[in-house]
Structure 1
């Protein structure tokens, strides 16, 4: 049984508390939050024990969820490592790549698990595709959200786009060649809308758009590869594959087809379409359960500290490109 705690009891922290209580191989010991009012509210809503200090909590646990503002990730993670506590850290992993490197190195020296909370890796719309060979030539994503003051301690790149950066990096087995980006501030002092083009050395290109000032929500990615289009709707939790028949030896069930004809009505090609609507699942519960399993088995988690560091590195480069462009307009 893994004894777990949570540092940070805001909106997301309470969600962590509730989910940890339902993991069979975990025991929730309690949580710490610097705000006494928030602590009382979280204790009342979740029934979890509130600790008076981080040090006191770390003495009693094997693993911790770090769910504090990003500016505090680094010092909180190092405090946990010093006590020999495994780390689940919400994204973005750290504020700088240097901080990420130090946390990873210190954890490795103590044989501690570090998992980063890139929750879309556990979205059923994405996991439904794990049995398919995905070799992207082109990726396009849109992650849009109405404005919410929560999460504005960082830019939209580190808050929203970083999800799609992580997904793209997990799919494309190639280093990056170049990054181009543009964006703007609107309701905050930081970047509120951003577009980035990432070119990989193998020729794949990913075009990512993120906004936290949109009228409607959307979280969709399209992945183009040879004679195949894969659509992943992270918001509505379904995925879809469209392909030409000669791509597959067998046709999956629940597949529809449509002919592509010329002006005379002659069939040129047949396009097949399969939609996957997985059973509802709780992605946070799944990723926290995977964290517990990684600790028990001594195996790397699905999203390692190095994965979090890679996504952070690209996100920061995108931010730098946008900020450089914005300065040129002043």
Structure 2
């Protein structure tokens, strides 16, 4: 069997909403992958997901799965604060690693994860799914081909549709570390070769002001200045009542690119009630193809040794901006990078 035909046996850590989506993709939609095991410390979670997908093995301790010699690769979809530790453990066990963003929440953690993968000689890919969305991929190709000249003004936004309820499960600074980190990667990706040199962030609890004293900021705007002179804006809000909203724009010396929309499809409804469209209500609706494509690339890279599009270094670069945003909000000042 050739390397390109190699079957990759994947273990998944984290049986929550996103983990269940990735597990289903690995079991049913990703060529060359076999979902071999599921692990989750929440009682019964791994067993329920495994049984639903016809997977025989399930674990309450992720390390027990990592110790299995017949697992080739691991997909980590656990809570963000556990990611770096699991990346290191998986790499040391000789497993190729796909980790949902953020890969880490400190630069020290990020460096440790990158070093562990490098020392073990395993693939490390991070879940920056927008790189795999057709519109964003097409825009990057246009930028690299010089179609819009030199990027000068960039914008990326994320607006989550779910209404905010009890904020207890949402850790502080989630808006930067887990939401806007996608936008930071997008802006870095769409301004290739440029480095961020200054960040200024403002944030507040506008959706639920009563949660502010619990540390939950739900709205933010970030300005990023790059060393090539380009200026970027990233924004986020945790309650877009009309649907899951992910878009971007790159204005250059020779033109402009607009990326993304919130439509389920391109159908527009004209009735006596007015003109309407159906919008995507979840990330797994709007970006379903991108989620599958990123796992497909991961499995291919695990089989061939190729370098994936979204690496540990990319995760570290986006994290550096997220951490600068936190410092900027705390100090109410621009922060140099």
Q: Do both proteins adopt the same fold according to a TM-score greater than 0.5, normalized to the shorter chain? A: yes
Give TM class, smaller chain: 0.7 to 0.9
User: Is the CA contact (8 Å cut-off) linking 2:160 and 2:240 kept in structure 1?
Assistant: yes
Question: For structure 1, which segment, 182-191 or 2-11, has the greater mean C-alpha deviation from structure 2 after superposition?
Answer: 182-191
Matches within 5 A, 1:100-115: 100-115=110-125
How many residue pairs match? The answer is 286
Check if 1:216 corresponds to 2:272: no
Which of 303, 309, 315 is the aligned partner of 2:310?
303
Q: Which residue is equivalent to 2:159?
A: 144
Q: For structure 1, which runs of at least 5 residues remain unmatched after alignment?
A: 239-279
CA shift in 2, pair 1:76/1:299, >3 Å: same
| SS across alignment from 2:331 | helix
| SS across alignment from 1:164 | helix
RMSD, aligned CA: 2.3
Check if 1:57 corresponds to 2:65: yes
* Cα drift, residue 214 of structure 1: 3.8
Which of 189, 199, 202 is the aligned partner of 1:182?
202
Q: Which residue is equivalent to 1:157?
A: 176
* Cα drift, residue 236 of structure 1: 3.5
Q: Which has the higher helix share?
A: 2
Q: Which has the higher strand share?
A: 1
User: Is the CA contact (8 Å cut-off) linking 2:159 and 2:238 kept in structure 1?
Assistant: yes
CA shift in 2, pair 1:8/1:133, >3 Å: same
* Cα drift, residue 90 of structure 1: 0.3
Q: Which residue is equivalent to 1:8?
A: 14
CA shift in 2, pair 1:143/1:55, >3 Å: closer
CA shift in 2, pair 1:82/1:234, >3 Å: farther
Question: For structure 1, which segment, 50-59 or 223-232, has the greater mean C-alpha deviation from structure 2 after superposition?
Answer: 50-59
Q: For structure 2, which runs of at least 5 residues remain unmatched after alignment?
A: 1-6, 145-149, 266-286
TM-score (ref. length: structure 2): 0.79
* Cα drift, residue 86 of structure 1: 1.0
Q: Which residue is equivalent to 1:47?
A: 54
* Cα drift, residue 311 of structure 1: 0.4
How many angstroms apart in 2 are the aligned matches of 1:29 and 1:214? 37
| SS across alignment from 1:215 | coil
User: Is the CA contact (8 Å cut-off) linking 1:91 and 1:117 kept in structure 2?
Assistant: yes
TM-score (ref. length: structure 1): 0.80
Higher-Rg member (1/2): 1
* Cα drift, residue 51 of structure 1: 2.2
